[in-house]
Structure 1
Amino acid sequence: MQEEKVENQVIDELVPKSKILACPQINPNLVGNITSISENKASMSFMISNEFITDSLGLAHSGFIYSAAAYLAQVAINNANTCILSSKSSFFTPCKVGEELFFEASAKFDNAKKREVFVEAFTREIKVFEAHFYILVTDEHILKMQQSELSKYQNKKSSK
């Protein structure tokens, strides 16, 4: 059993980064640590640290929680070429510095280009957040596709 210390917390069995295809260069200190991954499912832990607080009382900015959930939604699909199209989310309770959140994600529509992923976050058995993410899965990187389409458009425009 692998044990790793991460910012004053102990996490058992982190998933090796080499098994995570989605968002390969993302900083886990900003979005959490993947603790399990299987087909169409993933989970992670996320510690609310001082970098995420908004005021002197230690309130965490909800954008960091949303960002962590969005990352986990992509990991549940675990494809290198994913792009979030939209989402519907709800926050149920505020979070504060020092709390550890546990996220779970499950994806639907396994072979579709547009996937739906449901993500929930809990702390001390209290639901903090939930969201439905709608994610596009492409054959190549979205920015390469965009550049290719732009080049076609510019070539077509200059040939007129």
Structure 2
Amino acid sequence: MELKTHLKIDHTLSGELLQLEEGYARVELKTTDVMRADAEGLVHGGFCFSAADFAAMAAVNDPNVVLAKSEAKFLAPVRVGEIVLFEANVISHEGNRYAVEVTGNVEQTDVFRAVFYTVVLKEHVLGI
């Protein structure tokens, strides 16, 4: 399946798409020193959120998909050098609205869980 959205995203900051199927996407985020929030090596949560958002948008896979709302939980810290695997599954679809559940794991540890509520617009959001 071909990716139709977020084609210009910086994969070093928002993750690399590993797998794409209808209603499903898997994204890998390799955390690096530029994501460091402090001297101890904590990765700023915004990078994890960005990769999870990218996974959700890819699971919907429409060029005009936008995020309307999210409910996210950061379950465990991520350290510089760790690889976070995000899996996104469309859990509901009604008209132009999709709810996408995203989980993030470092090896066997759950680090992130969210539901992203998205809308597919008739045209690009910047053209409205």
TM-score, scaled relative to structure 2: 0.95
Q: Which runs of 4+ in 1 moved over 6 A?
A: none
Instruction: Name the % identity.
Output: 30
Aligned match of 1:49: 32
CA apart distance, 1:143: 1.4
1:99 to 72, 82, 97: 82
The structure whose residues are more often strand, as a share, is: 2
Aligned match of 2:55: 72
1:119 maps onto 2:110 in alignment: no
Residues 95-150 of structure 1: CA deviation (Å, up to 9, x unaligned): 111100111000133462111000000001100000000001012101112xxxxx
**Structure 2 portions without partners, runs of 5+:** none
2:115 to 112, 117, 132: 132
The structure whose residues are more often helix, as a share, is: 1
| Paired residue type of 2:89 | S
Aligned match of 1:24: 7
Determine the C-alpha separation between the residues in 1 that align with 2:81 and 2:58: 25
TM-score, scaled relative to structure 1: 0.77
| Paired residue type of 1:85 | A
Query: What's the C-alpha RMSD, in Å, of the aligned pairs?
Result: 1.2
**Higher RCO, 1 or 2 (CA under 8 Å, sep at least 6)?**
2
1:83 to 42, 60, 66: 66
| Greater C-alpha radius of gyration | 1
Q: How many residues align?
A: 128
